[in-house]
Amino acid sequence: MRTLPNSKFLLAVAVLGLSGLGLAASEALAKPRPAKPPTQAQAPGLAAPAPPKPSDYSDSDADENGVVAVINDQIVSEYDLRQRLALVLSTSGMAPTADNKKKMRPQVLETLKTEKLELEEAQRKNITVSPPEVDKEIEGILKDNNLTTDQLKGVLARSGVAMETLRGQIAVQLAWQKAIEDEYGDRINITDQDVTDEMARVTEGKNKPHYLAAEIFLPVDSPEQDATVFKSANDLIAQMQSGAPFPTIARQFSQSPTAAAGGDLGWVVDGQLNNDLNDALAKLAVGGVSPPVRAAGGYYILALRDKQMGADTVLPEPVKAAPQKPGYLPLARILMPLPPKAPKEYVQKVFNMAADLRAHIESCQQAQKMVAPIKGIVFQSLGEMKLSDLSEQIQAEVAKTQSGEPTEPFMSPAGIEVFARCDAPAPKVLQRFPVPTRDEVERRLFQQQISMLARRYIRDLRREANVETR
């Protein structure tokens, strides 16, 4: 019998102590570097709508210092809640509208209360977290959202979010991972026979479909919470349908250990999950997100990132993308109008917002939903456009894109614009399932067991806690 080494756990955590709510890993808010200067380009035949007010692009809510919740001896202040709410909105692509804030506020508060319990438990165990570990997680966030470091800092600064808020959240997640490992890591023994048995099961199922899945888990600790948690799950799905990336929502709200990895479950074979979860996953197309699924412990939201067919499946010939009409492309236009003689600072602010929106665009349909709640921004579906009718600048920007991608923002007489290609990407080529190695199976077994124990761990902490919501 042998125990998996600590390095096999999700995250390695070391060297910096957590003290109270302050984190030595936090850093001062950096000033965002301006995006590259906008250039002039003309979109032919497109009229400019009325310019928006500057307030349409900003959140002017004032911070307050009241207490909104008390968890044992720790508090969640109104400032904490507003900062985290602003962080969720700014890093997920959600519009900072009053409606979005109202919907997300209860979920964000529940997350903060859970994190206080996790932080308290980590401190009891003298858990430590290093700045490089926090930096590494931030790099993952940048990759998930197709952002640069400067863009992220700009997003936070424009939303009034201190960098300490982001770093603090990440540090608590890392500390909780360490607490789970400290509590259970040396109790989980994966024997050679366990691996052999699992390898036999995998081999038996090698001709079944395999799914690269991700999850968001919202616990239900008592029957009275069921309806509230179900509503919260549907609110999260609505935000993702409006353009918020699944990994970002998972990082912010999932109560599974996989949250730190954007909800990533890795590859699962058809039939590996319980029946309700497996059925929901099997119904999804690649890129799809399931409705809330009630299973043991709470509600799950599943995402299908990729799919592989059975190892012996005869794959069809790859389907070629439908040819485009030569010299034409289906395009959409996102316009942020500017008032006459707009101040340089205002223009730069709008230009930066356009860059942030561009980073979250995955398709024309998704872009339309994403910008719809934002006042003053215009989305136009242009249909099939003759490329030679566009300005040289627009043609040059469009030429840099692939199917479904947006251009970089540019300035035109109408304002700040982004063009998006609406042609469908080439169909994904099906792949056969590769049988995993023994080491891969061993890591998977360890992760399955520790995830189950982690859910039990936080459930017990919640039940024993004194929680007062004000």
Mean pLDDT for the stretch of residues 127-149? 85
Quote the CA–CA distance of 97 and 278 in Å, as a whole number.
Answer: 36
Quote the CA–CA distance of 362 and 347 in Å, as a whole number.
Answer: 25
- Percent of the residues in the chain that have a pLDDT greater than 70, as a whole number: 80
Q: Quickly tell me which residue has 């029957």 as its tokens.
A: 223
Quote the CA–CA distance of 210 and 21 in Å, as a whole number.
Answer: 42
- Percent of the residues in the chain that have a pLDDT greater than 90, as a whole number: 27
Query: Which pLDDT band, with edges at 50, 70 and 90, does 326 fall under?
Result: confident
Helix then strand count (H, E) for the chain reads 13, 14
Q: What is the pLDDT, as a whole number, of residue 353?
A: 82
Query: Which pLDDT band, with edges at 50, 70 and 90, does 434 fall under?
Result: confident
- Domains, the chain, with CATH or none: 328-421 (3.10.50.40)
- Does residue 113 surpass a pLDDT of 90? yes
Quote the CA–CA distance of 56 and 375 in Å, as a whole number.
Answer: 6
- Does residue 55 surpass a pLDDT of 80? no
State in Å, rounded, how far the first CA of the chain is from the last one: 50
- Does residue 31 surpass a pLDDT of 70? no
Mean pLDDT for the stretch of residues 122-138? 92
Query: Which pLDDT band, with edges at 50, 70 and 90, does 289 fall under?
Result: very high
- CB 248 within 8 Å of CB 144: yes
Q: Quickly tell me which residue has 């190695």 as its tokens.
A: 437
User: Is pLDDT larger for residue 357 or for residue 453?
Assistant: 453
Q: What is the pLDDT, as a whole number, of residue 419?
A: 93
Amino acid identity at 330? P
Kind of pairing between the strands at 298-309 and 431-432: parallel
Q: What is the pLDDT, as a whole number, of residue 243?
A: 72
Mean pLDDT for the stretch of residues 453-468? 90
Q: What is the pLDDT, as a whole number, of residue 30?
A: 28
Quote the CA–CA distance of 315 and 313 in Å, as a whole number.
Answer: 6
Q: What is the pLDDT, as a whole number, of residue 286?
A: 86
What value does the CA radius of gyration of the chain take, rounded to a whole number of Å? Answer: 24
Mean pLDDT for the stretch of residues 260-273? 85
For 178-231, what is each residue's pLDDT tens digit?
999 899 888 888 999 999 998 888 777 777 888 899 999 999 988 999 999 999
The three-state secondary structure class of 335 is: strand
Tell me the pLDDT of the chain averaged across its residues: 78
Quote the CA–CA distance of 32 and 6 in Å, as a whole number.
Answer: 38
Pick the most confident of 28-42, 132-146, 267-281, 287-301: 287-301
Quote the CA–CA distance of 284 and 409 in Å, as a whole number.
Answer: 33
For 75-110, what is each residue's pLDDT tens digit?
999 999 999 998 888 767 677 778 888 888 988 999
Mean pLDDT for the stretch of residues 128-144? 87
Closest CA to 356 of 167, 164, 157: 157
The alpha carbon of 218 is separated from its chain's Cα centroid by a whole number of angstroms, namely: 15
For 389-427, what is each residue's pLDDT tens digit?
888 888 888 888 888 889 989 988 889 999 999 987 665
Q: Lowest mean pLDDT of 38-42, 112-116, 195-199, name the range.
A: 38-42
Indicate the pTM of the whole model.
Answer: 0.60
The strand pairing partners of 411, in sequence order, are 40, 416
